[in-house]
């Protein structure tokens, strides 16, 4: 592996600290104090051991050490090591500690760690059922995204590590190609319509040549650190050119041939891919889907129960939408109003800049009002960033990336502006609140900053809690006085309707054997979203079974608990206290969330 520091560190002086702090150095004092309890030592040691298995997880945490130039190992042995690490530590915890003898916070950590191990164990038998490459996920896009968004360059060691990662793309992709081929031989492949997306992304990346997104990123990160030179001096510039040449060589000799091999494998699989869409077609598919639903929703709800909850919520939200139709004086059916809002030019932006400007303005206004509704707020900043060109065609409409715990990377709200006709003005507010304030950024940044909690709680998650919170905050925005335009409030309802319909179509596809076309037809008829939005959503639910059900199930529980607290506490109810109770423990299963709120109600009553 090339080590540029041996060439001349002084000749290419880069800004910023030479080496990032270690995990121990970045741990807040409160975490050190908590670690004095034996069980927290166990959790800390587990976290360190788990990070040693995942160089990319270290990078997400902001840790730059000897593994900074590596990728995670792809193998059955690596999967088994990670599985055994969690299960062995859970067994050690149970053998070493009596739940009844722990402090309240340590007891909660004990229960959450045990539940984490149980959830992992329930899914482990199905670990070969996942699709390694599809239109939304896979190393073909996640590798460039990681290098662009996570790998920082501020030292010569970081430059070396970046090039090492480019060199490592070949072996990484080859291991994944082999695993994908093995799964395909067992019938574990996405439906046939997925492959043109993946093939298109691969062909575009390959066709870009030396102008591909990875090399562009490397050159851009390198350029700011080339100092101004006296006229005639070329030492630093020559070294920079040499580094760029080495990155290009690594791409062309390792990464590019592997991407070409992946393209060939995807074309091979496309010819034999199944036409059925749901995972019921996989071996033990029904059991797999039941395990996914339990994991994502943290409940014992069956697919049939979730389906029926969705139908009921769709009917409720349609009623609220009709009230807005009356308010704005629209004449016609609800479906007519859907067509009006999805096609009329007044509801769409002409430029990306206009969308980003208005989204930022909504978030700025929301941030001012947060102290009235939250006692604790995060320190980490947040930025809005368009989804990068290399993945915007297939990426979702919006998503969030947590900040680095060392403060080196802000929280990022990614918005997909590939097709502005898929990004209605009516939904802008609710989408910004969900991904930014008071949604994902507030919750996940605050979670990262809970230094008195063990790392598995600061950096882990439960989808029903996290996405339930995001959906809850869309409606909270209305309680806070936003959505002054009725059409924007209609957009909020449209996004809530979207999540209700997810309960119907996800279970329809994976339990009731609906086809892609049947699910698209249901979503088109039931929602105001444009066709492109509908198709992209259904294609997401097909390749990520169960995940989409967590949003509405989580939101309904949070709303239920808030109304329970408001009813029982009456004049003593404090919305700031309620929100802090939900947030300060970090993500938890919905049953434990209910216990936490019940405890706060009893404490507030003085019971």
Mean pLDDT across 306-330? 97
- Please state the length of the chain: 607
Cβ-Cβ contacts under 8 Å for 447 (sequence gap 6 or more)? 402, 457, 458, 583, 586, 587
Three-state SS string over 309-332 comes to: HHHHHHHHHHHHHHHHHHHHCCCC
For 248, the token pair is 């290009």
pLDDT tens, 239-291? 778 899 999 999 999 999 999 999 999 999 999 999 999 999 999 999 999 99
pLDDT of residue 388: 87
Q: Tell me which of 566 and 234 has the higher pLDDT.
A: 566
Select the more confidently predicted residue: 422 or 432. 432
- For position 408, what pLDDT does the model report? 86
- CA atoms of 157 and 155, how far apart (whole Å): 5
Among 58-67, 391-400, 582-591, name the one with the lowest average pLDDT.
391-400
| CA distances from residue 567 to 374, 560, 574, 604, 605 in whole angstroms, order as listed | 20, 11, 12, 13, 12
- pLDDT value of residue 21: 31
The pLDDT score that the predictor gives to residue 15 is 33
CA 192, CA 209: separation in Å to the nearest integer? 28
Taking residue 172's Cβ as centre, other Cβ atoms within 10 Å add up to 21
pLDDT band with cut points at 50, 70 and 90 for residue 397: confident
Beta strands at 382-386 and 398-401: parallel, antiparallel or unpaired: unpaired
**pLDDT score at 532:** 84
pLDDT in the model for residue 225 = 64
**Distance of alpha carbon 309 from alpha carbon 328, whole angstroms:** 29
Report whether 314 contacts 304 (CB < 8 A): no
pTM of full prediction above 0.85:
yes
Task: 142-147: list long-range contacts, CB under 8 Å, 24+ apart.
Answer: 143/71, 143/169, 143/172, 143/173, 143/214, 144/205, 144/212, 144/213, 144/214, 144/217, 144/388, 144/390, 144/391, 145/388, 145/391, 146/56, 146/59, 147/214, 147/217, 147/218
Where residue 227 falls among pLDDT bands split at 50, 70, 90?
low
Q: What is the pLDDT of residues 152-188, one digit of tens each?
A: 998 889 999 999 999 999 999 999 999 999 999 999 9
Region 98-108: mean pLDDT is: 94
Residue 233 has pLDDT above 80, yes or no: no
Q: How far apart are CA 545 and CA 296, in angstroms?
A: 10
Distance (Å, rounded) from C-alpha 380 to C-alpha 446? 8
Q: Which pLDDT score is estimated for 74?
A: 97
* Three-class SS state of 400: strand
Using DSSP's 3-state secondary structure scheme, residue 31 falls into helix
pLDDT score of 30 more than 80: no
Overall average pLDDT of the 552-581 stretch? 98
Q: Spell out the residues 6+ positions from residue 185 whose beta carbon is closer than 8 angstroms to its own.
A: none
Per-residue confidence (pLDDT) for residue 451, from 0 to 100: 87
User: CB of 50 within 8 A of CB of 82?
Assistant: yes
Per-residue pLDDT averaged across 109-127, rounded?
Answer: 97
- The band of 606, judged by pLDDT with boundaries at 50, 70 and 90, is confident
List pLDDT tens digits, range 570-579: 999 999 999 9
Residue 406 has pLDDT above 50, yes or no: yes
Other beta carbons less than 10 A from residue 478's beta carbon? 16
Average pLDDT over residues 464-476: 98
Query: 21 versus 444: which is more confidently predicted?
Result: 444
* Residue ranges covered by each domain of the chain: 21-129, 139-275, 289-555
Q: Are 347 and 487 in contact (CB under 8 A)?
A: yes
The residue-averaged pLDDT of 327-354 equals 96
- pLDDT, position 28: 39
The average pLDDT across 549-568 equals 98
Which range has the worst mean pLDDT, 93-97, 189-193, 421-425?
A: 421-425
Q: Which two tokens stand for residue 302?
A: 């069956």
Q: What mean pLDDT do residues 207-231 have?
A: 81
Written as six digits, the tokens of 335 are 């479906």
First to last CA, the chain: 65
Lowest mean pLDDT among 247-251, 349-353, 386-390, 512-516: 386-390
pLDDT at 340: 96
b or e along 57-96 (b: 16 or more beta carbons within 10 Å of the residue's beta carbon)? bbbbbbbbeebbbbbebbeeeeeeebbeebeebbeebeee
Is the pLDDT score of 10 beyond 70? no
Band of the pLDDT at 36, cuts 50, 70, 90? very low
Q: What is residue 7's predicted lDDT score, i.e. its pLDDT?
A: 33
């Amino acid at each position: 592996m090339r080590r540029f520091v041996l060439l001349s560190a002084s000749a290419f002086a880069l800004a910023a600290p030479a080496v990032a702090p270690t995990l121990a150095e970045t741990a807040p004092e409160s975490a050190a104090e908590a670690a004095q309890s034996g069980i927290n030592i166990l959790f800390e040691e587990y976290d360190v051991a788990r990070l040693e298995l995942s160089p990319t997880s270290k990078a997400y945490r902001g840790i730059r050490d000897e593994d900074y130039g590596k990728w995670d190992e792809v193998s059955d042995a690596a999967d088994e090591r990670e599985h055994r690490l969690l299960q062995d530590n859970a067994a050690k915890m149970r053998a070493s500690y009596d739940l009844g003898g722990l402090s309240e916070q340590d007891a909660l950590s004990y229960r959450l760690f045990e539940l984490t191990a149980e959830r992992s164990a329930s899914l482990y038998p199905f670990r070969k059922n996942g699709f390694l490459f599809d239109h939304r996920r896979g190393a073909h896009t996640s590798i460039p995204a990681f290098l662009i968004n996570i790998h920082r360059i501020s030292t010569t060691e970081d430059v070396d590590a970046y090039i090492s990662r480019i060199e490592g793309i070949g072996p990484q992709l080859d291991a994944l190609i082999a695993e994908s081929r093995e799964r395909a031989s067992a019938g574990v492949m996405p439906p046939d319509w997925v492959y043109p997306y993946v093939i298109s992304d691969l062909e575009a990346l390959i066709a870009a040549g030396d102008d591909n997104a990875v090399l562009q990123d490397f050159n851009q990160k390198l350029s700011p650190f080339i100092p101004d030179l006296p006229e005639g001096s070329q030492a630093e510039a020559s070294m920079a050119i040499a580094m760029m040449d080495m990155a290009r060589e690594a791409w062309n000799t390792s990464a590019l041939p592997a991407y070409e091999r992946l393209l060939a494998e995807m074309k091979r699989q496309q010819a034999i891919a199944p036409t059925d869409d749901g995972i019921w077609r996989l071996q033990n598919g029904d059991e797999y889907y039941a395990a996914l639903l339990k994991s994502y929703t943290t409940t014992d709800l069956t697919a049939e129960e979730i389906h029926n909850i969705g139908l009921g919520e769709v009917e409720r939200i349609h009623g609220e939408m009709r009230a807005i139709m009356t308010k704005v004086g629209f004449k016609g059916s609800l479906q007519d109003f859907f067509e009006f809002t999805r096609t009329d030019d007044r509801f769409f932006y002409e430029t990306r800049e206009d969308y980003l400007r208005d989204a930022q303005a909504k978030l700025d206004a929301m941030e001012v009002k947060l102290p009235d509704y939250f006692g604790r707020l995060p320190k980490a900043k947040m930025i809005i960033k368009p989804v990068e060109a290399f993945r915007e065609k297939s990426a979702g409409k919006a998503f969030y990336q947590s900040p680095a715990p060392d403060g080196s990377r802000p929280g990022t709200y990614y918005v997909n502006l590939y097709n502005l006709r898929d990004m209605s003005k009516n939904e802008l507010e609710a989408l910004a609140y969900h991904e930014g304030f008071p949604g994902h950024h507030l919750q996940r940044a605050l979670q990262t900053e809970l230094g008195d909690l063990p790392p598995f709680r600061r950096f882990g998650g439960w989808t029903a809690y996290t996405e339930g919170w995001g959906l809850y905050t869309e409606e909270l925005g209305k309680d806070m006085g936003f959505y002054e335009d009725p059409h924007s409030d209609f957009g909020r309802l449209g996004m809530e309707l979207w999540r209700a319909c997810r309960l119907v179509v996800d279970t329809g596809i994976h339990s009731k054997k609906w086809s892609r076309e049947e699910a698209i037809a249901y979503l088109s008829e039931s929602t105001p979203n444009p066709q492109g939005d509908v198709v992209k959503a259904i294609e997401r639910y097909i390749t990520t079974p169960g995940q989409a059900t967590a949003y509405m199930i989580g939101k309904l529980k949070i709303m239920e608990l808030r109304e329970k607290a408001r009813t029982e506490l009456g004049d003593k109810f404090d919305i700031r206290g309620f929100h802090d109770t939900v947030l300060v423990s970090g993500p938890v299963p919905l049953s434990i969330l209910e216990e936490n709120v019940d405890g706060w109600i009893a404490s507030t009553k003085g019971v």
